[in-house]
Amino acid sequence: MTTSAEPFVLNIGPQHPSTHGVFRLRVVMDGEIIRDLDMIVGYLHRSMEKLAEERTYTQNIPFTDRADYLAAMTGNLGLAIAVERMTGVEAPDRAEYLRVIFAELQRIASHAMANGTLISDAGAWQTPLLYMFREREKILDLFEMTCGARLTTNYMRIGGVSFEPPAEFWPALQELMDEMPERTDEYASLLLDNEIFLARTRNVGIITPEDAINGSLSGPALRGSGVPWDLRKAEPYCVYDRFDFDVPVGTVGDVYDRFMVRMEEVKQSVRIIKQAVEQIPPGPHKNDIPLALRPEPGEIYSRVESPRGEIGFYLVSDGTPAPYRFHLRSPALINLTLLRELGVGSSLPDAVVTLGSIDIVLGEIDR
Amino acid sequence: MPEIPAIDELTVTLAHYLVVSGLVFGIGIVVALAKRNAIAVLMGVELMLNAVNLTLLAFSRFSSAFAEGDEPLSGHAFVVFVLTVAAAEAAIALALAVLVYRRQETVDLDRVNLLRW
Amino acid sequence: MDSTGIVIGFWVLSGLSVVSALLVLLARNLLHSLVFLVVTFLSMAGLFITLSADFIAVAQILIYAGSISVLMVFAVMLTPLASRDNGNSIYLLPGLLGGLGIAALVGFVAVDTDWDERTGEGLAATDFPGTVNAIGDLLLGRYVLAFEIASVLLLFALLGAIVLVHDRPRSGTAASEGGDD
Amino acid sequence: MARGPRQLTGTVVAQALGAALPGVVTASNDEWVEVAPDRVEDALRWLHDSDQFDAAQLSNLTAVDRYDRFEVVYHLQSLDLNHQIALKAIVTDHEDPVLPSAYPVYKGALLQEREVFDLMGIRFANHPDLRRILLWEGFPGHPLRKDWMGMVGGHTSGLRGFPFENKEAPDRIMNAGNLVEHGESLSAQTRRNVEGAQPGQGH
Amino acid sequence: MSEQPMRRPATPMLQQIEDRPGVREMLLGVPVPFKVFGAVFGLVGALVMAFIGYLVVDGRLEGEWYDVRDLGLAVQSLREWLTDQGVDHRITWIITGSIGGIGIMSVLGGWLLIGSWVERRVLAKFQIRMGPNRTGPFGLLQPIADAVKLMSKEIVIPFGADRFLYYIPPVLIFVPAMLGWAPIPWAPNMNYLDIDVGVLYVIAISSIGVLAVFLAGWSSNNHYSLLGAMRTVAMMVSYEIPISLALLSVVLLTGSMNLGEIVAWQGHYHVWVIFLIPFAAFAFLFASTAEINRTPNDIGEAESEIVAGFYTEYSGMKAGLFMGVELGHAILVGAVMSTFFLGGYTFFGLEEWVPGYLILATKIGAVYFLFVWLRGTLPRFRLDQLMGFAWKFLIPLGIIQAFIVAIEASVFARSDAPALITLGAFGVVNLAITVVLVRFWADRLGYSPAQHRTVPTLVSDGTLGGLKAAQKIRAT
């Protein structure tokens, strides 16, 4: 309606079905149109970076579980790699493969969650979400088999991984990988032929590649805008340079493209895992490293590609057992940089869907 | 079965309806004249129109003894026209109210005393 | 229809309509008075049923309670919070006088006239079996000209409302305001 | 020490930057370039615009408290050229640190600078919306500072030694036996660790 | 290092599905007394059915009060018998009226209980979940448990709410959902309110609900509620027009505004209106989903945007009333849809054998299942998309369809050709016109399926990079 009513303030969150956690949007609405938008985070702030200064590098690995609790494996991996680069410790070959397998499994699980909640935000009453949870459940089962935890895995260690997967792991993984292409096709047929879903996601929340790069976006949000940037390719860590996989990029940069990029990344992850299972060498799953891990004074910024983007660890050592400064570059927080520009001027449902497509995890935003 | 004391003796005649209609019409006039808010004034007008409808229908029903050739249902047809006019009038008047608010930031008719919009 | 029902219905509904019409006048909040207005409309529709005018009653519900009240809701919501009171203006006294006068006049005429003489046998008058077909015949027969005029009127009201409320482009508004000054 | 796999040598960047904008670079080493705090924006803009470095994205922005000064660290990266540049600006005023904002060059600095302001207390001039982000308005102090008021009794952050470190047997390794043996209680394992026995032997 | 203990997949959901007994096991597990009872019940039921079949074939049921196919006859007989006994006519009216009213109310109440169970179970099946299965057999008592829970909740009134208006809507919104049932014919003589303006009545009654929704939203003093209310009101006002146009087509074709006559017309020609005017049926179904706030048009209570819409601030049984009314509206729309478009109580001659109310109930259940299906499948439209769909698509096409039907109706009234041929021709013509019009109109509105559904470009090793690489990819 063009007649402007009185603008009013709407508090979306901290408890709201579509904020995916304790996230608050303070929105000035003019009818259905958002005139101003302010995001308020920090409800889950635990001052992880301060706590980390009191703990050894190994003790900090569980904190990374709690940061991005939907992708604990990649958080673990990022810290482990950062410390390894800092200290020169190396992980055995088998451990690198296991890391790849679990990181990619975690990517599938996280993307399933992200896309499922995105469709829920678009108004489908949880059906796609629960379908995608089916795969996620199986992946979490695999995690539980291996390390005993489903969500906060604490699996990656400095110099390897904590456990060798049990014997039942491999057939179960094979079974899951065999049915994944069928599942992704099923989602594609369910959702991409759905006019309503297309109408809700096409040309909504468009991010141009220029904005995406300048706004420090990373991960599917960046690739959805058409920028072919993936740290697994650009700066291969673990053994990613030994696998053959592609990087999907979107064309328009809208919600739909980000959704599709995630769907395609799931397929690519399946490809990687299949290759890794074929190539994985026998051997130890972790190297012996000194208990007293004292990196020399210095600093490092090391990053890996988490499902949400570039999760970086900036570690400063002063030679003591604990990091002098521990900074986690949170991709979910930084991807929200453009939220205000995207939201202002759009309608409330579009803003909700756009927020869903950015895929935030509050544990990581607030740390 | 015992006979229930009949209310039948309290018949309803045309006069009853006319009195009700007159009361509602009078209240409508008060509302239309005495309210500051343009929308409230419109409510008064609607009340008056309703009262008129009631009169028309009452006459239509109690009019069997009218002259030959008169349609007893003419009253109903008139009411249909009144309804039409009421709908049109409501639409226009509310549009005007919104317009007045947009130009003058008020719908208080006491303050809308400027003919030059 | 049953005469007893009509008598009970008349007294209940007429009481309801007069009281809620009074409450439209007395309510402090504009929305409250809107609610009472709807109650008036509905009880009026009930009165129409006692007059054996089922089509008009349903149309009354449809148009007044369903549409005009919603239009008013929109109008109320489009105006600011501050002007949602239902205050009285300086014309309260003249209004009261006029309203009372007209009510008294109509009441006097209604009571004083010998309607039985004019309408025959009063209540046992016409019980229309079904009014829809007859009204349709009338509208497209005897009153077809009025019917067409009414439809044109509706069309013009539609267009007029759109033209009135339609937002002009920003520059145009600025220019006209400048012209005013 | 360690550079990231794709990180440019600081001296190389420093040469080019110093040649283009004299007086900007104050120091440089193998890893990073140190720029004058008041000219951070110039340096960033030059790096952003230059064809040689093409620092299109501000990958990471954070700060380190060195007790007497703050180091604000910028990690820039070029996606097309696939390299990374580390930039440091040292703010010596520990009481009221102020630095020009990177927001005019990089929109990505919006939330990162708010976070640094919130946790470290460094004010960024020209930032469009400098408020606390993770903590609430009115939170006392800036907790990532080493001298944050929460540290009562002059206690400083950091860890002096490892919990079960045995100075007599420094070669002890940690990963090999960190599984609790079946039947062995956790306290027994802890005791063994503290006594410095070699776990992993004998089973 | 010792063996890792074996661990099996411990997903409760998958485990439950694996461990669930099949139908065979469940049947075998039934205790013997129940089996005997079931066998006897089935046998007696079959005998009764056979006997009724015999009576029907024999023609003994025609017009008798014990004609189970039409309970209206029994009520009529009762009224006549009472009148014969010299009972005052007012008492007779009260008795027969109460029987009908109680009948409708109990059917509605039963539907509400069963419907909520059906909705949750069916939705759970759609979503590979179990659904409520703990309370009673198959979770059948879950609706009762819900009701008890809702009723035992504390009454909370939001701060700043308009108390007077806050209490009205949960009750007010129930009124149209109940009154709407009155003109629905359940069998030839089985409608509670046999009025000539049945169609108008249905539309008029449904328009009252708007006010309740608005009052609920406004009086709650909550911006979510207000947004939801304004959305719902705007949508209801818009979608009343397509509904009216769709029903107008039916009225033009069947030549009556009496619901019973419309059904009788369909029964007489052995054809359902949905086959004759498919566009009107679609428009009615779509518009009524918007009207009753169900997926895909549930923007008035879109939980991912405005929490629960207009009833965000209601709790306990007041919220329960809103939810129950949502369900009741779905069933009512099912009844109206069945009556107007699906032949009502008729089923191509089967109504001679099977009670008409059972046929109608089956149809209502089918439409309700369709609603649940939609809810389990579709995302939600946006407000502007919905408005655009109503004003730019449904209303113009509805007007055109009504014109065409008017011409057809006059042809039908004047032609001497057999009804089968005329109506068959109408059906084919209307379907063709609908298809052509919809395609044409969709093209005019700028819809083209080709521009949807793009697949992300796959980039392999060589072309990684930033803006330049992105531009290169876009250029190809």
Q: What is the pTM of this model?
A: 0.83
CA distance C68 to chain B (A): 7
Q: Measured between alpha carbons, how far is E11 from D191 in angstroms, rounded to an integer?
A: 37
How many residues are listed for chain E in this entry? Answer: 476
Contact check, Cβ <8 Å, B46/C102: no
Taking residues E78-86, report their average pLDDT: 82
Q: Measured between alpha carbons, how far is C167 from C130 in angstroms, rounded to an integer?
A: 46
What CATH number does domain B14-104 carry, 3.40.220.10, 1.10.1060.10, 1.10.287.3510, 3.40.710.10? 1.10.287.3510
A138-152, E6-20, E121-135: least confident range = E6-20
- Give the model's pLDDT for residue D179: 42
Q: Measured between alpha carbons, how far is A180 from A266 in angstroms, rounded to an integer?
A: 9
Q: Which subunits have 3 or more CB–CB pairs within 8 Å of chain C?
A: A, B, E
Instruction: Tell me what percent of the residues of chain D surpass a pLDDT of 70.
Output: 71
Q: Measured between alpha carbons, how far is A219 from A68 in angstroms, rounded to an integer?
A: 14
- Give the model's pLDDT for residue C126: 53
Chain A CB contacts of E471 under 8 Å are 209
Helix or strand or coil: residue A195? Answer: helix
Q: Measured between alpha carbons, how far is B17 from B13 in angstroms, rounded to an integer?
A: 7
C-beta separation of A125 from A166 below 8 A: no
Q: What confidence category does residue E43 fall into, taking pLDDT thresholds of 50, 70 and 90?
A: very high
> Sign (positive/negative) of CA torsion A68, A74, A78, A83?
positive
What are the residues whose beta carbons fall under 8 Å from the beta carbon of C76, sequence distance 6 or more?
B39, C30, C31, C34, C84
Query: Which of the residues C32, C102, C139, C163 would you substitute to probe the B interface, choosing the one with the greatest number of B C-beta atoms within 10 Å?
Result: C102
Measured from the Cβ of residue E152, the count of other Cβ atoms closer than 10 Å reads 9
Q: Measured between alpha carbons, how far is E304 from A349 in angstroms, rounded to an integer?
A: 8
How many residues are listed for chain A in this entry? Answer: 367
B&C contacts, CB < 8 Å:
297
CA distance D142 to chain E (A): 35
A234 to A310, E117, E152: CA distances (angstroms): 12, 54, 60
Helix or strand or coil: residue B59? Answer: helix
Contact check, Cβ <8 Å, E211/C69: yes
Q: Match 């015949």 to its residue by tokens.
A: C137
pLDDT tens digits along A254-309:
888 888 899 889 988 998 999 999 888 888 888 877 767 778 888 888 889 899 88
Asked if E195 reaches chain C (Cβ–Cβ under 8 Å), the answer is yes
C-beta separation of E429 from E401 below 8 A: no
What are the residues whose beta carbons fall under 8 Å from the beta carbon of C104, sequence distance 6 or more?
B22, B26
How many residues are listed for chain D in this entry? Answer: 203
Q: At what angle do helices E316-341 and E278-291 cross, to 10 degrees?
A: 170
Helices in chain A by DSSP H: which ranges? 48-52, 61-67, 72-87, 93-121, 127-147, 169-192, 195-201, 209-214, 220-224, 231-234, 255-279, 331-335, 339-343, 348-358, 362-366
Q: Measured between alpha carbons, how far is A363 from A46 in angstroms, rounded to an integer?
A: 9
Chain B CB contacts of C95 under 8 Å are 29-34
- Give the model's pLDDT for residue C124: 46
Taking residues B48-59, report their average pLDDT: 87
Taking residues B50-77, report their average pLDDT: 74
Residue A34 maps to a domain: no
What are the residues whose beta carbons fall under 8 Å from the beta carbon of D181, sequence distance 6 or more?
D189, D203, E2
DSSP string covering chain D:
-PPPTTBPPHHHHHHHHHHHSTT-EEEE-SSEEEE-GGGHHHHHHHHHH-TTT---EEEEEEEEE-SS-EEEEEEEEETTTTEEEEEEEEE--SSS-EEE-STTT-TTHHHHHHHHHHHH--EEET-TT---SSSPTT-SS-TTSTT-TTSGGG--SS-SS-TT--TT-TT-BSSTT-SPPTT--HHHHHHHHHHT--TTTT-
E401 to A236, B43, E42, E395, E397: CA distances (angstroms): 63, 37, 49, 10, 6
Chain C CB contacts of E207 under 8 Å are 61-62, 65-67, 70
pLDDT tens digits along E185-237:
888 877 887 787 888 888 888 888 888 888 888 888 888 888 888 888 888 88
Chain B CB contacts of C71 under 8 Å are 90-91, 94
Q: Measured between alpha carbons, how far is E165 from E158 in angstroms, rounded to an integer?
A: 12
DSSP string covering B29-53:
HHHHHHBSBHHHHHHHHHHHHHHHH
Contact check, Cβ <8 Å, B14/C115: yes
Q: What confidence category does residue E44 fall into, taking pLDDT thresholds of 50, 70 and 90?
A: very high
Q: Is the pLDDT of residue E10 over 70?
A: no
Query: Which of the residues A127, A139, A192, A210 would you substitute to probe the E interface, choosing the one with the greatest number of E C-beta atoms within 10 Å?
Result: A127
Contact check, Cβ <8 Å, D175/A322: no
Mean pLDDT of chain B: 75
Q: Which residue has the higher pLDDT, C110 or E450?
A: C110
The amino acid at residue E347 is F
Chain E CB contacts of A179 under 8 Å are none
Chains B and C touch (3+ CB pairs under 8 A): yes
Q: How far is CA C117 from the centre of its chain?
A: 30
Q: Match 């983007």 to its residue by tokens.
A: A309
CA atoms within 13 A on the CB side of E19: 7
| Candidate from B18, B44, B101 with C-beta closest to C79 | B101
Measured from the Cβ of residue E231, the count of other Cβ atoms closer than 10 Å reads 28
- Give the model's pLDDT for residue E450: 56
CA distance E27 to chain C (A): 53
Asked if A3 reaches chain C (Cβ–Cβ under 8 Å), the answer is yes
Q: Which subunits have 3 or more CB–CB pairs within 8 Å of chain B?
A: C, E
Q: What confidence category does residue D169 fall into, taking pLDDT thresholds of 50, 70 and 90?
A: low
Residue A37 maps to a domain: no
Domain map (residue ranges) of chain B: 14-104
pLDDT tens digits along E137-149:
778 888 888 888 8
Measured from the Cβ of residue E414, the count of other Cβ atoms closer than 10 Å reads 7
CA distance A30 to chain C (A): 11
C&E contacts, CB < 8 Å:
67
What pairs with residue D124 in β-bridges? Answer: D99
Q: How far is CA D156 from the centre of its chain?
A: 18
Helix or strand or coil: residue A125? Answer: coil
Number of domains in chain A: 1
Query: Which of the residues E237, E251, E256 would you substitute to probe the C interface, choosing the one with the greatest number of C C-beta atoms within 10 Å?
Result: E237
Domain interval for residue A198? 47-366
- Structure tokens that stand for C178 in this block: 């400048």
E12 to A127, A136, A144, A342, B87: CA distances (angstroms): 19, 13, 13, 40, 60
The conformational region for residue E307 under phi > 0 = left, psi -120 to 50 = alpha, else beta, is left
Which residue stretches of chain C have pLDDT < 50? 1-2, 122-124, 170-181
- Give the model's pLDDT for residue E40: 93
- Structure tokens that stand for A299 in this block: 């600093």
- Give the model's pLDDT for residue D203: 39
| Candidate from D5, D133, D160 with C-beta closest to A42 | D133
Query: Which of the residues E93, E199, E200, E241 would you substitute to probe the C interface, choosing the one with the greatest number of C C-beta atoms within 10 Å?
Result: E200
Q: Give contacts of C 132-161 with B, CB under 8 A.
A: 134-135, 138-139, 142-143, 146-147, 150-151, 153-154, 156-158, 160-161
| Candidate from A140, A168, A227 with C-beta closest to E466 | A227
Residue A17 maps to a domain: no
CA atoms within 13 A on the CB side of A241: 6
Q: Which subunits have 3 or more CB–CB pairs within 8 Å of chain E?
A: A, B, C, D
Query: Which of the residues E93, E208, E213, E256 would you substitute to probe the C interface, choosing the one with the greatest number of C C-beta atoms within 10 Å?
Result: E208
Chain A CB contacts of C168 under 8 Å are none
Taking residues D120-137, report their average pLDDT: 86
Question: Whose CA is closest to E262, among E185, E368, E348, E201?
Answer: E185
Find the distance separating the first CA and the last CA of chain E, reported in whole Å: 56
Measured from the Cβ of residue E143, the count of other Cβ atoms closer than 10 Å reads 23
Asked if D181 reaches chain E (Cβ–Cβ under 8 Å), the answer is yes
> Sign (positive/negative) of CA torsion E230, E234, E237, E242?
negative
Taking residues D32-48, report their average pLDDT: 86
Q: What confidence category does residue B43 fall into, taking pLDDT thresholds of 50, 70 and 90?
A: confident
Question: Whose CA is closest to A103, among A312, A307, A360?
Answer: A307
The amino acid at residue E314 is Y
What are the residues whose beta carbons fall under 8 Å from the beta carbon of A281, sequence distance 6 or more?
A93, A94, A97
- Give the model's pLDDT for residue C57: 87
Q: Is the pLDDT of residue E382 over 60?
A: yes
Sheet containing A298-306: give its strands across: A298-306, A309-317, A325-329
- Give the model's pLDDT for residue E42: 93
Contact check, Cβ <8 Å, C78/A2: no
| Candidate from D64, D135, D175 with C-beta closest to A42 | D135
Helix or strand or coil: residue A24? Answer: strand
Q: Is the pLDDT of residue A106 over 80?
A: yes
Asked if D201 reaches chain E (Cβ–Cβ under 8 Å), the answer is no
C-beta separation of A83 from A301 below 8 A: no
Q: Measured between alpha carbons, how far is A19 from A11 in angstroms, rounded to an integer?
A: 11
Chains E and B touch (3+ CB pairs under 8 A): yes
Chain C CB contacts of B39 under 8 Å are 30, 72, 75-76, 79
User: CATH code at A290?
Assistant: 1.10.645.10
Q: Match 């009741």 to its residue by tokens.
A: E328
Chain B CB contacts of E86 under 8 Å are 1
Instruction: Tell me what percent of the residues of chain E surpass a pLDDT of 90.
Output: 2
ipTM at complex level: 0.80
- Give the model's pLDDT for residue D175: 44
Domain annotation for chain D: domains and CATH numbers: 10-149 (3.30.460.80), 159-197 (no CATH)
Question: Whose CA is closest to A204, among E301, E475, E476, E381?
Answer: E381
Contact check, Cβ <8 Å, D182/E468: no
Q: Is the pLDDT of residue E427 over 90?
A: no
What are the residues whose beta carbons fall under 8 Å from the beta carbon of D21, sequence distance 6 or more?
D39, D42, D43, D46
Chain D CB contacts of E1 under 8 Å are 179
**Angle, vertex CA D166, rays to CA D163 and CA D170, nearest 5:** 120
Find the distance separating the first CA and the last CA of chain A, reported in whole Å: 41
Q: What confidence category does residue D183 fall into, taking pLDDT thresholds of 50, 70 and 90?
A: very low
| Candidate from A1, A213, A264 with C-beta closest to E466 | A213
Question: Whose CA is closest to A304, among A313, A295, A296?
Answer: A313
Residue A28 maps to a domain: no
- By CA distance, what is C62's nearest residue in E? E204
Taking residues D184-197, report their average pLDDT: 50
Helix or strand or coil: residue A157? Answer: strand
Q: Is the pLDDT of residue E81 over 70?
A: yes
- Structure tokens that stand for C125 in this block: 């008058």
Chain E CB contacts of A247 under 8 Å are 458-460, 464
